[in-house]
Chains A and B, each alone.
Chain A
Amino acid sequence: GESVGLHLPTLSVQEGDNSIINCAYSNSASDYFIWYKQESGKGPQFIIDIRSNMDKRQGQRVTVLLNKTVKHLSLQIAATQPGDSAVYFCAESGFNKFYFGSGTKLNVKP
């Protein structure tokens, strides 16, 4: 699993607002997707996953949307809290090959 080492884009939101983080994936054969949250200095943590036979999956305050037509994945966080501040990145996999996106830094303003 590889990712590209780029400086991260940042999304700033006000506490209580909803956040939407986007990810464009590259492989049309990918059939499994995961969103990870990485807090500063910590390891990435699984948030939510979705398989290609679904277009929406909901968790606690998080929703993942999958649009296979345009190869786009999004993570929606409802009522964003200061504890949601982190880097979020997506991962795609298919045929035992997988790739990580470079991530988006979410900054929650109190």
Chain B
Amino acid sequence: DSGVTQTPKHLITATGQRVTLRCSPRSGDLSVYWYQQSLDQGLQFLIQYYNGEERAKGNILERFSAQQFPDLHSELNLSSLELGDSALYFCASSVGRGLDGYTFGSGTRLTVV
């Protein structure tokens, strides 16, 4: 157990729907990062939050949004889902804004049918 908790582990939904993925960082970590990973591909950085504020944005679609709450957990909202959104979505957390102590969750597998 890495200490980063992601729920749900699996999600199957239809095209056009909206889902919310949840991430609880390790205790004491202020930064949360979201990644998308399609089959046999590398991690695509989506967005980073640090202590409740958005810090960096990657290749995140306008249909996707995220937020980090006062208790530091984060949610990634995916709307108007398309078949191509099927992927593993990972959350990672760290104490600061660098790579020290950077830890990944076990991911949410999203399948859009």
Contacts and interface: CB of A to CB of B under 8 A. Distances in A.
A32 B102 CA distance: 12
Given A1-B33, A2-B58, A45-B104, A101 B99 contact: no
B25 interface: no
Interface stretch (B11-19, B74-82, B105-113): B105-113
A105 to B, nearest CB: 8
B47 to A, nearest CB: 11
Interface residues of B, number: 27
Interface string B86-113: 0010100000111110111111010000
A18 B59 CA distance: 37
Contacts of A5: 38, 41-44
B105 A43 contact: yes
Contacts of A89: 42-43
A43 B86 CA distance: 16
B90 A91 contact: no
Interface string A17-34: 000000000000000101
B99 A42 contact: no
A91 B102 contact: yes
A102 B43 CA distance: 7
A96 B40 contact: no
B90 A2 contact: no
A2 B100 CA distance: 16
Interface in A44-103: 44-46, 89, 91-93, 96, 98, 100-103
A3 interface: yes
A61 B103 CA distance: 22
B109 A45 contact: no
Interface of B: 2, 4, 33, 38, 40-45, 48, 58-59, 88, 90, 96-100, 102-107, 109
Given A1-B102, A7-B40, 7 more contacts: A1-B99, A3-B45, A5-B41, A43-B107, A44-B104, A45-B104, A105-B40
